[in-house]
Amino acid sequence: MAQSRDISSYIIAPDPDAARLTRAVQGIDHTGARIDMAVVEERPLTIFLNNREIVTAMTIGDYPEYLALGFLKNQGMLAKDEDITGVDYDAELDTVVVRTASQTTFEDKLQKKTRTSGCAVGTVFGDMMEGLSDVTLPDIPVRTSDLYALAAQINRTPSLYLTSGAIHGTVLCKGDQPLVYMEDVGRHNAVDKIAGWMLSENVTAADKILYTTGRLTSEMVIKTALMGIPTLASRSGFTAWGVDIAKDVGLTLIGRMKGQRYVCLAGSHRLITDADPSTIADEPRKAGRKAG
Q: Where on the chain is the footprint of its own copies (CB under 8 A)?
A: 22-23, 25-32, 35, 37, 39-44, 46, 52-56, 58, 110-111, 114, 116-122, 125-126, 144, 164-166, 185, 215-219, 236-243, 256, 260-266, 268, 271, 273, 277, 290-292
Query: Can you tell me the distance from the alpha carbon of 223 to that of 131, in angstroms, rounded to the nearest whole number?
Result: 10
Instruction: Name the minimum Å distance from CB 29 to its own copies.
Output: 5
Contacts of 35 (CB under 8 A, 6+ apart): 26, 27, 28, 29
Task: Tell me whether residue 3 or residue 261 sits nearer to its own copies (CB atom).
Answer: 261
**Do 43 and 94 form a contact (C-beta atoms < 8 A)?**
yes
Which element (helix H / strand E) includes 197?
Answer: helix 187-201
Instruction: Name the minimum Å distance from CB 191 to its own copies.
Output: 16
Query: Can you tell me the distance from the alpha carbon of 155 to that of 167, in angstroms, rounded to the nearest whole number?
Result: 14
Instruction: Name the minimum Å distance from CB 168 to its own copies.
Output: 9
Task: Tell me whether residue 32 or residue 81 sits nearer to its own copies (CB atom).
Answer: 32
Instruction: Name the minimum Å distance from CB 201 to its own copies.
Output: 28
Instruction: Name the minimum Å distance from CB 67 to its own copies.
Output: 15
Closest CA to 106 of 132, 86, 77: 77
Amino acid making up residue 203: V
**CB half-sphere exposure, 141, CA atoms < 13 A:** 6
> How far, rounded to the nearest angstrom, does the alpha carbon of residue 266 sit from its chain's CA centroid?
19
Query: Can you tell me the distance from the alpha carbon of 107 to that of 163, in angstroms, rounded to the nearest whole number?
Result: 41
**Do 46 and 196 form a contact (C-beta atoms < 8 A)?**
no
Task: Tell me whether residue 83 or residue 290 sits nearer to its own copies (CB atom).
Answer: 290
Instruction: Name the minimum Å distance from CB 219 to its own copies.
Output: 7
Task: Tell me whether residue 11 or residue 263 sits nearer to its own copies (CB atom).
Answer: 263
**What burial letters (b/e) apply to 172-208, b meaning 16+ CB within 10 Å?**
bbebbbbbbbbbbbbbbbbbbbbbbbbbeeebebeeb
Instruction: Name the minimum Å distance from CB 64 to its own copies.
Output: 15
Task: Tell me whether residue 155 or residue 236 sits nearer to its own copies (CB atom).
Answer: 236
Task: Tell me whether residue 80 or residue 285 sits nearer to its own copies (CB atom).
Answer: 285
Task: Tell me whether residue 86 or residue 126 sits nearer to its own copies (CB atom).
Answer: 126
Query: Can you tell me the distance from the alpha carbon of 119 to that of 155, in angstroms, rounded to the nearest whole number?
Result: 40
The SS3 call for residue 203 is coil
